[in-house]
Amino acid sequence: MLTCRVLGPVELEVDGVAVHLGGLLPRRLVTVLAAANGRPVTEDALVDLLWGDEPPANPRSSLFAYVSRLRRALGREALVRTDDGYRLRVDESDADRFAAAVDHGRELLKDGRAAEAVPVFDRALAAWRGEPFAELAGDAVPARARLGELRLVAVEERLAARLTAGDAAGSVGELEEAVRAEPYRERRWELLILAHYRSGRQADALAALRRVRDLLAEDLGLDPGPALQDLERRLLLQDPRLLLAARPARTARPLTTFLGRDAELAALGTLTAAHRLITLVGPGGAGKTRLALEYAADRAWFVRLADAAAPVPAVAAALRLRGSTLDTVTAALADQPGLLLLDNCEHLVEPVAELALHLLAHCPGLRILVTSREPLGVSGERLLPVDPLPPTAAVALLTDRIAAQRLGWQPDAGDSAHLARIAAALDGIPLALELAAARARLLSLGDLSGLLRDRFPALGPVPRGEITPHQTLEAAVAWSVDLLPAADRALLLRLWPYEDGFPLSAAESDLDRLSALVTRSVVAADTGVTPTRYRLLEIIRGYCRAHDPDPAGSRAAHAAWTRDLVARWVPELAGEHSPHAMRVLHRDLANVHAGIEHDLAAAPEAALRTASLLPWFWFRGGHVAVGLRLLDAALAAAPHAPAVDRARALAGGAMVRFIGGDLPGALDWLRQAGEVLPDPGDREQQVVRAQMLYYDSVVHHAIEDFATAERRARDSIAVSRACGERWSVAAAEVCLGFALTGLGRLDEAHAVLDRAIAEAQARGYGWSAALGEMALGWLGLVGVTSRGGGSPLDPEAALAAIRRSLWLFRAADDLGNALTCLHMGALALALAGRVDTAAVLLTAVRGYSVRRGIDPNLVSPALTAAIEATMQDAGWEAAARAAQDLSEQEMIDLLV
């Protein structure tokens, strides 16, 4: 590593060690080669520069001697012989570093970062130790003049940076020295005049202007150049643009660690590099201001608008201007490249939008960064959403803030669970997390977690030093809500009963008002799903709950909406739209359950009717425990409800009990349903009767009373045809196929099932077709294990039917029957000779089902026991170890 310093007497270093060059001639040789800046120098040129008009007797030999000595000191690779001369390979030069530093300082000054530019120029000028290339006489080295001129420029640019950074009065003395040192450099006089003017000394500014005019006229016979003439004109007019806008002041930022926003910081850097107007949008307390300040640091004019009635006077005050008009602000920023940070603009959206458009049009070097709860909505604006922190980052922030108050505290497992609950209850809103952490000085984490349940969190005032304009969390939310127009606010306050989000229909299908709430960041929209899903942050829900003028009315409206939702989509579970209906009901399951809970007290008969419609959804979705709880409560709360609703609830509840493994309970509820509705009259009652008989067939099949199962299935078919309920015809025919299989009439069962599957597929009854395929699979299992005759299906054909059934049930979001398919598939694998895989799958599906409260062995416990008897004990034990905690997809992979 060869370093060469030429800004003064020449110096060389090799790997940081100084090289002794000797007398004047070897030093002059190095200087000549260094001045060539890596280009080769001929021997003739070297001789001329070394000795001039008095060369030695044999100059080439003398030159070679000096070169050899220098090569020994520097290394042969540093001083290279060319065709007709020599070239010095320098790795680093103080002249190059100086030129690069000057360029960097000028770029900083151009970008409006004058305060950063001053020390850059200081370091660059400090590298000068004397005249460059001092060993060479006169003008022999053109680089000397270039470096000298660059040094004069650096002095002027440093003074310009100091003046632009706001130190006008302090720079006057240096500028006086500068004009005395170089009186004909008009740039220095411009800076001196500006320094006087910006220091409030207009008379001194005009006096300096007369001095330079007289100097140029007397010494050179010239008038001032165009720049000085323009400056004189503007001085006489007192042009406000001569008054420099205040440079970014150091903003008091919180002393806490900045966590969880690395992605947003990177995105903000990318956006500001490419665009001139960027708006950070997000709900109150999400940390928009903190993010903006962390990005802008001390490089932006920070304008706090939270308490401002108009943006222009606030900007003028932040810039420390003498006037507060739009013209004054525009003039101050017109020639000032930089970043203007307008914070908390949501209450001034229109005037801030107008100001931003005006400034961007008239101030070409200006960029604007806005924080607001809604966009400005102007052309060219780029939005960066600032969402609540994700769970991991929210817990990290909460942990960091609590640890700062509890010396030596480290969360244990119990603390970690409480931290996760607190972070979730506060939606990952940084302001709320900060306030909760402050409360942790007085409360245990368990107490704090309990404090946040079911009410708006009363977390106390904001700690000193925080940058939020609001003193409490409630004030931050109120600021957002109070800014809304009355109709929008009324809609928002009615939305709090909705659990885990809602679709457009829940907001009275008023897209315009809902869009306004999303725009103002009080409602979040998930446009990644269809239909779009909307959600209130939990802290906003809590605020709306506490400030709703008619909470009972809002609860009632929410319950009515859930009743309509269930009545609209449950009938679709039977047809071609079954998968979509399952997804709709799953998405709003929390709302549906909350609606029923409300109606249990307020409208028990309505609660029973809604609950009576849902059992098919509950047992298909695996919601056994909650379904039974709500059905029990509804039946108890509405003893005098219409018979059709009680019978539907009891019959459907029997199926929920059945899939949970409670066969006696299922039979009891079916008996009660028959007693409540012994003789159906109208069509609705006949439909319920058909369903009841179908369910009765299913349960009697499970207890292996196949004769009764056959009768109930045929009765269900007859009632279904009589009332025109085609989907239950197909389902009951599948039940008939199951019963015939149990009775050993396999060929008849196969024909019935083929017909049922074909009709279900033709009519778009995907769920009934899936049930038919499952029955075919079971028929194959029975036939293979039966002593009384063969099956129309072999084990592989049975496996294929079970797989088809599995795909259809999964497409219909039917978890309970999908698990039954997996259980049957394990038995089929065993019969096909794949005993180890069968043992793993059987153990896994049983464990998974237990965790979901579902009994997957609903087809025939006796058949299962018979097949298990053929499996090796050793393989079964190994499988139990291999099958721990397999996911649903991993179990499916074993079957396929």
Mean pLDDT for 527-533 is 85
Q: What would the pLDDT profile of 780-799 be if each residue is shown by its tens digit?
A: 888 877 644 456 777 888 89
Buried b (16+ CB within 10 A) or exposed e, 604-630: bbbbbbbbbbbbbbbbbbbbbeebbeb
The whole-number pLDDT of residue 42 equals 81
Q: Which of 110-114, 655-659, 689-693 ranks highest by mean pLDDT?
A: 689-693
Whether the Cβ atoms of residue 842 and residue 864 lie closer than 8 Å to each other: no
Distance, first Cα to last Cα, the chain: 66
The whole-number pLDDT of residue 251 equals 59
The whole-number pLDDT of residue 830 equals 84
Phi, psi of 41 (to 5 degrees): -120, 130
Mean pLDDT for 127-151 is 79
Instruction: Name the pLDDT band for 854 (thresholds 50, 70, 90).
Output: confident
The whole-number pLDDT of residue 656 equals 92
Whether the Cβ atoms of residue 758 and residue 795 lie closer than 8 Å to each other: no
In angstroms and rounded to an integer, the radius of gyration of the C-alpha atoms of the chain is 42
Nearest residue to 175 via CA among 146, 149, 199: 199
Q: Name, in order, each residue with C-beta under 8 angstroms of 542's C-beta and a sequence gap of 6 or more.
A: 455, 456, 457, 496
Looking at the predicted structure, is the pLDDT value of residue 495 above 90? yes
The whole-number pLDDT of residue 88 equals 83
Q: What would the pLDDT profile of 148-184 be if each residue is shown by its tens digit?
A: 889 999 999 999 988 887 788 888 889 999 999 999 9
Q: Name, in order, each residue with C-beta under 8 angstroms of 857's C-beta and a sequence gap of 6 or more.
A: 820, 823, 846, 864
CA–CA gap between residue 797 and residue 776 (Å, rounded):
9
Nearest residue to 713 via CA among 742, 676, 685, 675: 742
Q: Write out the H or E segment, with its range, that includes residue 513.
A: helix 511-519
Contacts 24+ apart (CB under 8 A), 507-513: 507/534, 513/487, 513/488
The whole-number pLDDT of residue 791 equals 64
Looking at the predicted structure, is the pLDDT value of residue 618 above 60? yes
Buried b (16+ CB within 10 A) or exposed e, 318-328: bbebeeeebeb
Q: Name, in order, each residue with C-beta under 8 angstroms of 207's C-beta and a sequence gap of 6 or more.
A: none
Mean pLDDT for 178-197 is 90
The whole-number pLDDT of residue 109 equals 84
Whether the Cβ atoms of residue 688 and residue 680 lie closer than 8 Å to each other: yes
Instruction: Name the pLDDT band for 718 (thresholds 50, 70, 90).
Output: very high
CA–CA gap between residue 447 and residue 440 (Å, rounded):
9
- With both helix axes pointing from N to C terminus, report the angle between 683-702 and 663-676 in degrees, rounded to the nearest 10: 150
The whole-number pLDDT of residue 500 equals 86
Give the sheet arrangement for strand 338-343, strand by strand.
Answer: 300-304, 338-343, 366-372, 277-281, 382-385
When mean pLDDT is compared across 206-215, 306-315, 720-729, 842-851, the lowest value belongs to: 842-851
Number of residues that this document lists for the chain: 896
Looking at the predicted structure, is the pLDDT value of residue 246 above 80? no
Phi, psi of 594 (to 5 degrees): -65, -35
Instruction: Name the pLDDT band for 708 (thresholds 50, 70, 90).
Output: very high
Give the sheet arrangement for strand 79-81, strand by strand.
Answer: 41-42, 85-88, 79-81
Q: Which of 371-375, 469-473, 829-833 ranks highest by mean pLDDT?
A: 371-375
Nearest residue to 535 via CA among 551, 514, 562: 514
CA–CA gap between residue 303 and residue 309 (Å, rounded):
13
The whole-number pLDDT of residue 788 equals 45
Looking at the predicted structure, is the pLDDT value of residue 874 above 50? no
Looking at the predicted structure, is the pLDDT value of residue 515 above 80? yes
Q: What would the pLDDT profile of 590-617 be if each residue is shown by its tens digit?
A: 999 999 999 999 999 999 999 999 998 9
Q: Name, in order, each residue with C-beta under 8 angstroms of 642's C-beta and a sequence gap of 6 or more.
A: 605, 609
- Average pLDDT along the chain: 85
The whole-number pLDDT of residue 41 equals 80
Mean pLDDT for 569-584 is 88
Looking at the predicted structure, is the pLDDT value of residue 117 above 60? yes
Written as one string, the DSSP assignment of 203-239 is HHHHHHHHHHHHHHHHHH-----HHHHHHHHHHHHT-
Using DSSP, state whether 252 is helix, strand or coil.
coil
Using DSSP, state whether 479 is helix, strand or coil.
helix
Instruction: Name the pLDDT band for 763 (thresholds 50, 70, 90).
Output: confident
Whether the Cβ atoms of residue 534 and residue 501 lie closer than 8 Å to each other: yes
Of all residues in the chain, what percent carry a pLDDT higher than 70? 92
Q: What would the pLDDT profile of 412-468 be if each residue is shown by its tens digit?
A: 888 899 999 888 888 888 888 888 887 777 778 888 887 776 545 555 554 544 555
When mean pLDDT is compared across 75-79, 153-157, 274-278, 631-635, the lowest value belongs to: 75-79
The whole-number pLDDT of residue 351 equals 96
The whole-number pLDDT of residue 642 equals 95
Q: Name, in order, each residue with C-beta under 8 angstroms of 714's C-beta and a sequence gap of 6 or more.
A: 732, 736
CA–CA gap between residue 151 and residue 144 (Å, rounded):
10
Of all residues in the chain, what percent carry a pLDDT higher than 90? 38
Type of residue found at 880: A
The whole-number pLDDT of residue 861 equals 67
- 449's tokens: 């977690």
- 629's tokens: 């709880």
Instruction: Name the pLDDT band for 496 (thresholds 50, 70, 90).
Output: very high
Looking at the predicted structure, is the pLDDT value of residue 777 above 70? yes
Dihedral, 837, 841, 847, 853 alpha carbons, nearest 10: -170
Q: Name, in order, each residue with C-beta under 8 angstroms of 199's C-beta and a sequence gap of 6 or more.
A: 168, 169, 172
Report the 10 Å Cβ neighbour count for 87: 16
Instruction: Name the pLDDT band for 871 (thresholds 50, 70, 90).
Output: low
Mean pLDDT for 674-683 is 89
Looking at the predicted structure, is the pLDDT value of residue 547 above 70? yes
Instruction: Name the pLDDT band for 754 (thresholds 50, 70, 90).
Output: very high
Mean pLDDT for 808-815 is 85
Looking at the predicted structure, is the pLDDT value of residue 655 above 70? yes
Mean pLDDT for 858-878 is 63
Nearest residue to 548 via CA among 483, 451, 455, 424: 455
Greater pLDDT, 136 or 551? 551
The whole-number pLDDT of residue 308 equals 87
Looking at the predicted structure, is the pLDDT value of residue 134 above 80? no
Type of residue found at 204: D
The whole-number pLDDT of residue 875 equals 55
Whether the Cβ atoms of residue 827 and residue 864 lie closer than 8 Å to each other: yes
